[in-house]
Amino acid sequence: MLPYKTLIKLNRKSGVALYVQLCSSFISLITDGTHQPTDVLPSSRILGQLLGINRNTAKMAYEELISQGWAESIPRKGIFVLAKLPVLSRKKIMALDGVYYSKGPAFAWNNPFEEKLVSKNVQKTFLAIDEGFPDVRLTPVDLLMREYRSISKKIQGKNFLRYGFPQGSERLRNALCRYLSETRGLTVQPENILITKGSQMGIYLSAQLLTTKYDTIAVGDLNYRSADEIFKYAGARLLRIPIDDQGMNVDILEEALKHKSIKAVYLIPHHHFPTTVTMSMERRLKLLNLAKTYRFAIIEDDYDFDFHYDNKPFVPLASIDHNHNVIYIGSISKTFAPALRMGFLIAEPGFVTAACSLRQLIDKQGDSLLEEAFSLLYENGEMERHFRKSLRIYKERRDLFCQILQSNFKDVISFKKPEGGLAVWSIFDNSIDLKHLSKKLGDKGLRIADGTFYHNESVIPNGLRLGFASLTEKEIEQVLDLLRLALDHCNDHKRQ
């Protein structure tokens, strides 16, 4: 007889009835090959004694097994595994802890992501210097949920529980048309807008529609790594163009265009990631002229336009693009709350329609109710009030953060005070091992990146984006104290 005490574990605290758990256990023993067709099962009395359960519970489990076609009862002989079942070889091995492990992959599959790291879960992190996220404690989520509940309770709101238009809520697209016109001088119609699950989806859809294998995409020598990986996955080759304090060097791009066909240019002209620099107007105009001349697309990632502190921000490339070369991608998530996935892609109607068709293959539509709720926040001015309030607070936090960096870290960190955005691009002294620093601070309860996200085949900076927006003034002082102590310890260790 098999060691049923070891093989079958019943949870008496579970909400699942014991006989159902027992039935499921026998099904697992049959499907993993432990029990073969025609094998006899222990009597309900013996099984009850072995497992410490009522005999009737065992009988009910056997009745369920028989009704589902896993077993059969033969009069005056007992309960048997159904003889008609196919013979299943036992392909798993049991470790000493009683857990079954597969000997190897069950099937062949393509994995182009072996060297890619899955993003870490930061929802349980209480103290962190992130890479530039908004402070979700400032988010008027109660107002958003109030609108969400209000819509869902109305009779007409029930319609939003059905399948909707993959292009997104018409009401939200209309609200964005008004908002973008007032704040960015961007004049578009609802048919130009696709509501996405954040800016990442917009980049992915654009890459898939624009590129075929071996097409060239021009990107910054320092660039948003997730965008790089999206383009590579689409089969594109990356052409690295230097980034300086005026943004992408368009003169070098122009020289490259004389010798190479380029399908698209991806850039973040406003608060470039990771360096936070803003592209000059001269370069913006020249880039648009090059796009018109050489007929390439410009993917403009404008993920945090709303947070600019020192002067009026430059209008986006899309706002001054009269030849329709620009695919404009924005994010509501990065300015509101990262977990509420909401963004938009703006382009010519034909491109938007194609993006909708592609989007439907992986995601039928967005969250219609949430999109409607966001549209109301735009219509009643709550989004603008949130941005104004956040902008004032983030500016104060930026000033304090940079003041402390300048006072206490000038020996190991060089930086330029950002005009906008939610982080400071900080270059550490080459003597600082950022991986070691990240681990040391993690042991102290402070999460900080190790810098590898900014590495690529062209540039390996010893730098980090140090986010200030998600930290209160007290937390800023606390995390920078911990950072200073860790850096001092690193220096002491090196001297020894």
Per domain, the residue ranges of the chain are 4-102, 128-133+386-495, 139-384
CATH H-level, domain 128-133+386-495: superfamily:
Aspartate Aminotransferase, domain 1 (3.90.1150.10)
Q: Which residues of the chain have pLDDT under 50?
A: 93, 96
What does the CA dihedral 306, 309, 313, 318 come to, rounded to 10 degrees?
-30
Separation CA 491–CA 87 (nearest Å): 65
CA distance to 228, 272, 327, 459, per residue, from 221 (Å): 11, 12, 21, 7
Helix (H) or strand (E) holding 265: strand 264-267
User: Selecting from 1.25.40.10, 3.50.50.60, 3.90.25.10, 1.10.10.10, what CATH number does the domain 4-102 have?
Assistant: 1.10.10.10
For the range 396-404, what are the long-range contacts, defined as Cβ-Cβ under 8 Å and sequence gap of 24 or more? Answer: 396/473, 397/468, 397/469, 397/471, 397/472, 397/473, 397/476, 398/309, 398/424, 398/468, 398/469, 400/468, 400/473, 400/476, 400/477, 401/466, 401/468, 401/471, 401/476, 401/480, 404/476, 404/477, 404/480
Q: Other C-beta atoms within 10 Å of 424: how many?
A: 22
In 3D space, the residue among 227, 233, 257, 226 whose CA is nearest the CA of residue 241 turns out to be 257
Q: How many CB atoms lie within 10 A of CB 182?
A: 10
Domain range 139-384, CATH architecture: 3-Layer(aba) Sandwich (3.40)
pLDDT of 99: 53
Confidence at residue 6, expressed as pLDDT on a 0 to 100 scale: 86
pLDDT of residue 23: 94
Instruction: Give the distance from CA 91 to its chain's centroid.
Output: 36
List beta partners, residue 217.
Answer: 238, 264
pLDDT on residue 96: 46
